[in-house]
């Protein structure tokens, strides 16, 4: 939780710094774009965080994005399949990819780095071969389908209100049914703060929506953002409230002990890679529907690095076992705000990677330093308490 | 022991497999063999490859088309071709300045020409391509037509390293500001120029990432509310710009000038969202390159252009001519595919 | 009596604790001094100061009456003091000679003098009675052999004081015997030895004197004739201590675990048959490499058996993985607690509940309330200290970590609990607590099969002992016939005993 707070603070600071430097940054249109890109990349990051929590890595994300982004228009425009069939085929392809990764890693005991590196090459080549390297697109058609990526289902204020108030209601359920109330945890400052934030967002959003107040009320929620919110809630529940999530974390912390404890480790890991591939494919489809011009050779190149960077920035440890969905989503937002801000401020594009790299490095280093400081302070406090007790 | 033997055998088997596949694709001794090397594999190059192959059939030359996407891959392909003892190579260099050494070495070993993007100062025998500076100036003219009263404009491109990209940008800028004809002039990427009613706001480089291209276009629209004209200088830039405009609800309000002949760009012209495009003739690139390579091999230097620059004409496509241009293009592509 | 080596008023504190509060230590030439104390009493810290790894906050060290400045490991080595680490510090990808000379290689010109080094190394290896070549790769050596390399290395650097920290904790009985003989020889040659061990039997046998530490202070010094088990323990734990009474067996008639013709991977030529009844505590004894751990791992499906049948509670079971073992009603407290048993960076709560959450879950969703109940009950029942569910398991003491692992298994109520070296690295007080806990489990009808290298533990805890040798069951000893000699006899059957 404290990790999430840290990255949230970074997001707020970066966001307002850019806003302060360039007032157009806060324009509703720009915020809308920002949220949409965050949503698209966030889906990738959520997927990869499952893999990272197992202590693995997926380098094939960019290529899976490229392949699925290529396949959808290829099925639709070239082969004139119906949308449901095309989507189903893309999902099947992603399932097969994730299964292949997972099985190679668990059953053949190959290293995730190697397996997914080969995947990176194979899927890119596959996308290029299938389409004969031709640019894929939907042209002017499939506008209904493209609503999935381009639609604006509701106002952002309403969505925020629903999420915030939903969180509060779920919390109050725990009071109504104390059997499911996790004793002691509510007292942690992190949880209280989360409730505070939820209340602020929920009622703030509700107020803005109800009063139809100004610019803010008119910002629409991009459809991908709605997808991200749903996905993040599902992923968060899966990770923190199910046996699967607990077992996944345990496996990431200590693989040997997990085996000795009789966990179905292989199955869990396979599922993690399947989830990652599915998320990548979902994002790929959304990217394609949004951008509408897919060059099989380059589409999605290096996106795995954005996803991994966001996950790490959001508190995942590449050693495994650690990470939260909220942190990962916020981490993605930080990266997207940086990219957007850099181009809004007219900072030369050449510098983009320098700034991104530096911020991620500083973020991760600061987290480590703070962690040690806190540990040190706790230790000192214990010493003092012990000294007082003996004195 | 036996396992270790099997492990040693596996790479050998793989190698044998590769060699076998390689051997099968060999054939046709005696004929002139030339290679046509592109800088990527988008549909533009499919057309060019079709032209090259057609020339091969017409002129009785074996044409090997290769489509490496980055300088390293280009170098590898060139080295391989040289080692195969190829009779001639036509290359579209990605980064002509820095590939000069490689180009000169290849010139020493075979008949070597460049197409699409030139590398001035090298020993290449000939350059086949559009004069990018002139094409840029043509696009600049389109900008001036689109903005009769002047205004703000911005350029969008994938890479700046290659000669054609630089010349293209410079041509646009020089024409809009009415500067003299000087292909050697270089205006900085982030320079801002305000002169005679026009306001140049710099060049946005996306590093060949379509999503990033769209993101940059969106950011520009947010940042500069009174942007007059967006110029997409690589084939995919204009489709990305159009998507960004569509999302922002500014289709038709902000003028667009395109380069090349992406479907979305042509559709944009038909819909009136794009003022016009400067289309190259990739088919001609391929055809002419092979023709010149054959001439070089046979020592018929009189068939070469005097200044070593075979100018392939470009066409300016506007609303009136878009439909017929597109139909012709489709026919060409269909023919290329059925033959290729 | 003036001492040859003396440490005076040594104090040291770390953030969080004052570890040494004015310790005084004297050592004569050619003396074996046992250094005793529970974990955390300050033994290791004191020895790290003497070995130059740590600097004391205050205090002085005298050698032959003259002050000695030890500021680094090099200083200590210079003074002839060598520390044989608890975790051996050899580079196991190199050979013995390379390790022997690591950091002070002999040269001839610019090149290494390989032949010279090998000669020198062989000489010292012979002196400590090593029977492996100087060119053997360290990774192929047993722990005992690696220890000999360390000792030879120290002697080769002219060590006059050897500090041995738990030297027998990973040794087989035969290797231990060899070490004891070596200690005797070195003493006779005038080398002084500071011997740290939890195994009080060894101390009685070897030491000339014992210094007992408790909470960073000397709680007592015992001369040779005072080295009695209960007396040492009393000084260590700080209260009067009496060995527990002989355990009463809780064994019932019904079979809990029966194996027939079991073949484990490490010993494919041997077949194992044995049976443990409900409520019975059965011990697995044997030398290192006799196949105790392998048998437990095969039973639990970690390294599935190659052949053989397993019955749990009278029913035949196929066990190919830990999951199947758990389903069959088995549990395993593994040998390496930190690596195989615990999730050190996870909370006690998550460690304890890991087994039961799947059972208590509703449609895959965690039941946090049930988890909380289970964890609180376990903490209370097993007296896990401190009783904090959210504390990270890695921050607990060894004994409490072991209780956490036990708690996880108890939550699944297995019919048979397998324990591999259940008290390794756990201090005396906590051991007694674990023994009581195991006894209580047996009294409730759980069958226990434990492997242990510690004779005292086997003799104290087991109703019946299966002795393994070279992967075979060389004999079964019931209570009346259970003596140290009988176990050793069976354990060393079929290969010649090393000279003691």
| Per-residue pLDDT tens digits for B102-149 | 899 899 999 999 998 888 888 998 999 888 899 999 999 999 999 999
CATH architecture classification, B132-279: 3-Layer(aba) Sandwich (3.40)
Q: Chain B residue with minimal CA distance to A289?
A: B243
* DSSP code of residue A242: B
**Contact residues on chain A for B264, CB-CB shorter than 8 A:** 137, 139, 292-293
**Contact residues on chain A for C350, CB-CB shorter than 8 A:** 246, 249-250
**Contact residues on chain C for A180, CB-CB shorter than 8 A:** 367-369
Query: Within an 8 Å CB–CB cutoff, is residue A125 touching chain B?
Result: no
For chain B, list residues whose CB is within 8 angstroms of any CB belonging to chain A. Answer: 40-43, 45-46, 67, 69, 189-190, 202, 204-211, 214-216, 218-223, 225, 235-236, 239-240, 243, 247-248, 262-264, 267
pLDDT at A310: 94
Q: Chain A residue with minimal CA distance to B202?
A: A346
Higher pLDDT pick, B28 / B297: B297
Q: Chain A residue with minimal CA distance to C341?
A: A257
Compare CB distances from A379 to C15, C369, C389 and report the shortest one's residue. Answer: C15
pLDDT at C137: 87
The whole-angstrom separation of Cα B214 and Cα B206 is 9
Compare CB distances from C340 to A260, A263, A376 and report the shortest one's residue. Answer: A260
pLDDT at A188: 62
Query: Which residues 11-30 of chain A have a CB within 8 Å of chain B?
Result: 22, 24-25, 27, 29-30
The whole-angstrom separation of Cα B174 and Cα C222 is 99
- Six-digit token pair at C191? 């080398």
Inter-chain touch B262–A299, beta carbons under 8 Å: no
Q: Chain A residue with minimal CA distance to B250?
A: A29
Structural domain boundaries of chain B?
28-130+282-313, 132-279
pLDDT at A187: 53
Q: Chain B residue with minimal CA distance to A301?
A: B209
Confidence band, pLDDT 50/70/90 cuts, at residue B1: very low
**Contact residues on chain B for A292, CB-CB shorter than 8 A:** 239, 243, 264
* DSSP code of residue B259: E
Inter-chain touch C372–A183, beta carbons under 8 Å: yes
The whole-angstrom separation of Cα C203 and Cα C217 is 20
Looking at the complex, report in whole angstroms how far the Cα of residue C405 sits from the nearest Cα belonging to chain A.
10
Q: Chain A residue with minimal CA distance to B266?
A: A139
Mean of the per-residue pLDDT values of chain B: 86
The whole-angstrom separation of Cα B167 and Cα B162 is 9
Q: CA A16 from chain center: how many Å?
A: 22
Query: Within an 8 Å CB–CB cutoff, is residue C329 touching chain A?
Result: no
Same fold, B28-130+282-313 and B132-279: yes
pLDDT at B25: 45
Q: Chain B residue with minimal CA distance to A348?
A: B190
Outline where DSSP puts E strands in B196-308: 198-205, 227-232, 255-259, 276-279
Of 3.40.50.10610, 3.40.50.2300, 3.90.170.10, 1.10.3720.10, which CATH number belongs to B28-130+282-313?
Answer: 3.40.50.2300
Query: Within an 8 Å CB–CB cutoff, is residue A290 touching chain B?
Result: yes
Task: Report residue C80: phi and psi, to 5°.
Answer: 90, 25
The whole-angstrom separation of Cα A351 and Cα A377 is 38
Cis, peptide link before residue C386, omega less than 30° from 0: yes
The whole-angstrom separation of Cα B132 and Cα B233 is 11
Outline where DSSP puts E strands in C161-216: 161-165, 192-196, 209-214
Q: Which residues of chain A have pLDDT under 70?
A: 1-2, 174-190, 382-383, 385-391
Task: Specify whether the CB–CB gap between C289 and C307 falls below 8 A.
Answer: no
Confidence band, pLDDT 50/70/90 cuts, at residue B286: very high
**Contact residues on chain A for C365, CB-CB shorter than 8 A:** 237, 241-243
Inter-chain touch A254–C344, beta carbons under 8 Å: yes
Query: Within an 8 Å CB–CB cutoff, is residue C65 touching chain A?
Result: no
Q: Distance of CA C304 to CAs A193, A382, C248, C414, Å?
A: 50, 46, 34, 19
Inter-chain touch A246–C332, beta carbons under 8 Å: no
Looking at the complex, report in whole angstroms how far the Cα of residue C229 sits from the nearest Cα belonging to chain A.
31
Looking at the complex, report in whole angstroms how far the Cα of residue A346 sits from the nearest Cα belonging to chain B.
8
A and B: number of Cβ contacts within 8 A: 104
pTM of the model: 0.78
For chain A, list residues whose CB is within 8 angstroms of any CB belonging to chain C. Answer: 179-184, 237, 241-244, 246-247, 249-250, 253-254, 256-264, 321-322, 376, 379-380, 382-383, 386
Compare CB distances from A291 to B214, B223, B262 and report the shortest one's residue. Answer: B214
Question: What are the DSSP calls for B77-143, one per residue?
Answer: HHHHHHHTT-SEEEE--SSTTTTHHHHHHHHHHSEEEEESS--TTS--S-EEE--HHHHHHHHHHHH
Compare CB distances from A259 to C322, C342, C357 and report the shortest one's residue. Answer: C322
Compare CB distances from B210 to A27, A150, A293 and report the shortest one's residue. Answer: A293
**What ipTM goes with this model?**
0.84
The whole-angstrom separation of Cα C476 and Cα C474 is 7
A and C: number of Cβ contacts within 8 A: 93
Compare CB distances from B210 to A22, A140, A299 and report the shortest one's residue. Answer: A299
Inter-chain touch C361–A243, beta carbons under 8 Å: yes
Neighbours of chain A (3+ CB pairs under 8 A): B, C
Q: Chain B residue with minimal CA distance to A33?
A: B218
Q: Mean pLDDT in runs of 10 for chain C (500 residues)?
A: 84 80 91 86 87 88 88 86 77 85 82 88 87 87 83 87 84 80 90 87 89 89 87 78 68 92 88 94 86 92 92 92 94 91 92 92 88 92 89 87 94 94 83 90 94 85 90 89 82 50
In a mutagenesis test of the A interface, which of C13, C15, C322, C325 is the best target, namely the one with the most A β-carbons within 10 Å?
C322
Q: Chain A residue with minimal CA distance to C324?
A: A262
**Contact residues on chain A for B240, CB-CB shorter than 8 A:** 291, 293
Confidence band, pLDDT 50/70/90 cuts, at residue B290: very high
Inter-chain touch B236–A292, beta carbons under 8 Å: no
**Contact residues on chain B for A29, CB-CB shorter than 8 A:** 221-222, 248
Sign of CA dihedral A226, A228, A234, A240: negative
In a mutagenesis test of the A interface, which of C13, C14, C16 is the best target, namely the one with the most A β-carbons within 10 Å?
C16
**Contact residues on chain A for C417, CB-CB shorter than 8 A:** none
Inter-chain touch B222–A344, beta carbons under 8 Å: yes
Q: Chain C residue with minimal CA distance to A378?
A: C16
Residues 6+ apart with CB under 8 A from C95: C134, C135, C136, C137, C138
Mean of the per-residue pLDDT values of chain A: 87
């Amino acid at each position: 939780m404290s990790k999430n707070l840290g990255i949230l603070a970074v997001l707020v600071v970066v966001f307002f710094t850019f806003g302060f430097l360039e007032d157009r940054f806060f324009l509703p249109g720009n915020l809308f774009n920002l949220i949409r890109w965050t949503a698209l990349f966030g889906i990738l990051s959520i997927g990869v965080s499952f893999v990272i929590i197992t202590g693995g890595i997926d380098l094939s994300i960019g290529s899976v994005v490229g392949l699925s982004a290529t396949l959808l228009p290829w099925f639709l425009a070239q082969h004139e399949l119906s949308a449901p069939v095309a989507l189903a085929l893309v999902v099947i392809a992603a399932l097969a990819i994730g299964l292949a990764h997972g099985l190679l890693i668990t059953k053949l005991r190959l290293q995730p780095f190697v397996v997914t590196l080969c995947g990176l090459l194979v899927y890119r080549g596959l996308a290029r071969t299938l389409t004969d390297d031709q640019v894929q697109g939907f042209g002017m058609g499939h506008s209904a389908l493209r609503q999935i990526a381009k639609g604006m289902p509701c106002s952002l204020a309403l969505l925020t209100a629903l999420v915030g108030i939903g969180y509060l209601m779920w919390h109050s359920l725990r009071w109504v049914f104390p059997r499911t109330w996790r004793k002691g945890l509510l007292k942690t400052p992190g949880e209280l703060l989360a409730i505070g934030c939820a209340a602020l967002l929920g009622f703030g959003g509700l107020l803005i929506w109800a009063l139809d107040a100004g610019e803010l009320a008119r910002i629409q929620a991009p459809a991908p953002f709605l997808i991200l919110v749903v996905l993040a809630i599902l992923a968060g529940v899966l990770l923190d409230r199910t046996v699967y999530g607990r077992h996944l974390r345990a496996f990431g912390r200590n693989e040997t002990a997990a085996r000795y404890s009789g966990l179905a480790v292989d199955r869990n890991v396979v599922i993690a890679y399947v989830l990652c591939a599915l998320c990548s494919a979902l994002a790929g489809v959304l990217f394609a529907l949004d951008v509408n011009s897919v060059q099989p050779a380059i589409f999605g190149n290096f996106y795995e690095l954005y996803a991994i960077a966001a996950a790490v920035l959001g508190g995942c440890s590449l050693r495994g076992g650690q990470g939260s969905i909220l942190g990962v989503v916020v981490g993605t937002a930080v990266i997207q705000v940086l990219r957007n801000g850099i181009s809004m401020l007219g900072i030369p594009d050449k510098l983009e990677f320098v700034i991104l790299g530096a911020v991620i490095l500083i973020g991760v280093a600061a987290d480590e330093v703070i962690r040690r400081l806190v540990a040190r302070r706790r230790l000192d406090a214990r010493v003092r308490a012990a000294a007082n007790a003996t004195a | 022991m036996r396992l270790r033997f099997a492990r040693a055998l596996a790479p050998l088997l793989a190698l044998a497999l590769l060699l076998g596949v390689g051997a099968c694709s060999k054939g046709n001794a005696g004929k002139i063999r030339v290679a046509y090397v592109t800088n990527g594999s988008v549909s533009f190059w499919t057309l060019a490859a079709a032209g090259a192959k057609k020339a091969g059939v017409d002129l009785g030359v074996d044409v090997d088309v290769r489509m490496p996407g980055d300088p390293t891959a280009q170098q590898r392909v060139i080295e391989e071709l040289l080692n195969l003892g190829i009779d001639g190579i036509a290359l579209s260099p990605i980064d002509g300045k820095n590939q000069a050494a490689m180009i000169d070495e290849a010139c020493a070993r075979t008949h070597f020409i460049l197409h699409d993007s030139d590398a001035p100062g090298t020993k290449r025998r000939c350059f086949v391509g559009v004069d990018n500076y002139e094409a840029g100036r043509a696009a600049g003219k389109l900008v001036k037509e689109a903005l009769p009263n002047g205004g703000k404009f911005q350029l969008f491109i994938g890479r700046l390293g290659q000669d054609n990209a630089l010349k293209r940008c410079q041509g646009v800028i020089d024409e809009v500001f009415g500067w003299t004809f000087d292909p050697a002039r270089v205006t900085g990427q982030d320079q801002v120029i305000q002169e005679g009613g026009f306001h140049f706001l710099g060049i946005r480089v996306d590093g060949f990432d379509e999503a990033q291209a769209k993101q940059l276009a969106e950011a520009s629209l947010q940042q500069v509310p009174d942007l007059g004209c967006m110029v997409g200088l690589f084939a995919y830039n204009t489709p990305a710009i159009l998507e960004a405009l569509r999302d922002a609800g500014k289709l038709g309000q902000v003028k667009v000038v395109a380069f090349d002949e992406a479907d979305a760009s042509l559709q944009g012209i038909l819909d009136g969202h794009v003022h016009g495009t400067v289309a190259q003739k990739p088919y001609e690139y391929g055809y002419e390159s092979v023709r010149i390579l054959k001439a070089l091999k046979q020592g018929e230097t009189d068939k070469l252009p005097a200044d070593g620059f075979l100018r392939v004409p470009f066409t300016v496509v506007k609303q009136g001519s878009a439909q017929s241009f597109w139909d012709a293009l489709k026919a060409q592509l269909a023919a290329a595919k059925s033959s290729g | 009596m003036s001492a040859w080596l003396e440490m005076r008023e040594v104090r040291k504190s770390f953030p969080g604790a004052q570890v040494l509060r004015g310790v005084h230590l004297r050592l004569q030439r050619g003396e074996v001094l046992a250094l005793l104390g529970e974990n955390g009493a300050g033994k290791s810290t004191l020895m790290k100061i003497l070995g130059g790894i740590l600097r004391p906050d205050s205090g002085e060290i005298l050698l032959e009456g003259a002050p000695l400045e030890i500021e680094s490991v090099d200083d200590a080595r210079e003074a002839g003091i060598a520390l044989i680490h608890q975790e051996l510090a050899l580079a196991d990808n190199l050979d013995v000679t390379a390790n022997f000379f690591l950091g002070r290689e002999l040269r001839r010109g610019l090149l290494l003098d390989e032949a010279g080094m090998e000669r020198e190394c062989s000489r010292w290896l012979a002196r400590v009675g090593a029977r492996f070549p100087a060119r053997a790769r360290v990774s192929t050596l047993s722990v005992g052999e690696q220890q000999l390399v360390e000792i030879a290395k120290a002697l080769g650097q002219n060590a006059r004081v050897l500090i041995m920290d738990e030297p027998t904790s990973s040794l087989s009985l035969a290797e231990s015997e060899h070490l004891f003989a070596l200690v005797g020889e070195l003493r006779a040659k005038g080398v002084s030895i500071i011997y740290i061990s939890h195994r009080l039997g060894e101390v009685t046998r070897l030491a000339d004197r014992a210094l007992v530490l408790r909470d960073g202070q000397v709680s007592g010094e015992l001369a040779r004739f005072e080295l009695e088990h209960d007396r040492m323990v009393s000084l260590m734990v700080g209260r009067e201590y009496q060995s527990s009474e002989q355990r009463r067996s809780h064994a019932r008639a019904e079979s809990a675990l029966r194996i027939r013709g079991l073949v484990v991977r490490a010993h494919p030529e041997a077949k194992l048959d044995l049976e443990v009844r409900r409520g019975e505590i059965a011990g697995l004894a044997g030398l290192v490499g006799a196949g105790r751990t392998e048998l437990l791992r095969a039973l639990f499906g970690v390294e599935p058996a190659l052949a053989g049948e397993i019955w749990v509670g009278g029913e035949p079971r196929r066990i190919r993985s830990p999951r199947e073992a758990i389903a069959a009603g088995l549990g395993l407290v593994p040998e390496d607690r930190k690596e195989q048993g615990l999730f050190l960076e996870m909370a006690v709560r998550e460690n304890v509940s890991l087994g039961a959450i799947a059972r208590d879950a509703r449609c895959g969703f965690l039941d946090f309330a049930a988890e909380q109940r289970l964890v609180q009950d376990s903490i209370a029942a097993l007296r896990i200290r401190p009783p904090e569910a959210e504390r990270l398991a890695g921050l607990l003491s060894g004994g409490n970590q072991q209780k956490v692992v036990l708690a996880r298994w108890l939550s699944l109520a297995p019919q048979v609990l397998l324990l591999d070296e259940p008290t390794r690295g756990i201090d005396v007080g906590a051991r007694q607590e674990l023994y009581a806990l195991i006894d209580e489990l047996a009294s409730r009808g759980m069958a226990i099969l434990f492997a242990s290298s510690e004779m005292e533990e086997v003799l104290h805890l087991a109703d019946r002992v299966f002795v393994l040798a070279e992967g075979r069951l060389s004999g079964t000893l019931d209570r009346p016939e259970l003596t140290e000699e009988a176990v050793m006899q069976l354990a060393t059957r079929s290969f010649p005993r090393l000279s003691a």
